[in-house]
Amino acid sequence: MAVRMYQLTVDSHDLPAQARFWSRVLDWRILFESGDEIVIGADALALPGMCFIAVPEGKTVKNRLHLDLTPDDQAAEVERILALGARRIDVGQGADATWVTLADPEGNEFCVLRAKTSLTD
């Protein structure tokens, strides 16, 4: 039996703002939108996507799962993502970390890795 990841679902307090933020970060587009759910993706046939679902509460604890983004230019991407509304956070990474830890507008942690030249870097 084969299985593929379909989408990552993110609880969101401000659904449209979260979907817009991540669409801009990933250069994806909104594929589906209703009052309690917004799905974004590279296109309608590309997997995985991200689904933002409305919840009444805000984030209160550290994520158990987070995204790692791999850029062509780490410094440029970090600055671009900060300008979109992310913020730098400290989750205990050392000064010698090769990644930058950020939080999206609702506080969900994610990392921008150093530039990758292969899948094993």
User: Each residue of 62-109: pLDDT tens digit?
Assistant: 778 899 999 999 999 999 999 999 999 988 888 888 999 999 999 999
Residues 72 and 33 reside in one and the same domain: no
Q: What's the pLDDT tens digit per position in 33-42?
A: 999 999 999 9
CATH number at residue 39: 3.10.180.10
Decide: 108 and 10 in contact? Cβ < 8 Å. yes
Question: What total of structural domains would you count in the chain?
Answer: 2
CA dihedral in degrees (115, 51, 1, 43; nearest 10)? -70
Is 114 inside a domain boundary? yes
Residues 6+ apart with CB under 8 A from 2: none
pLDDT score of 1: 67
Q: What is the pLDDT of residue 121?
A: 58
**Domain hosting residue 44, numbered range:** 1-56
Give a yes or no: residue 81 inside a domain: yes
- The answer to whether residues 17 and 46 belong to one domain is yes
Residue 112 confidence (pLDDT): 96
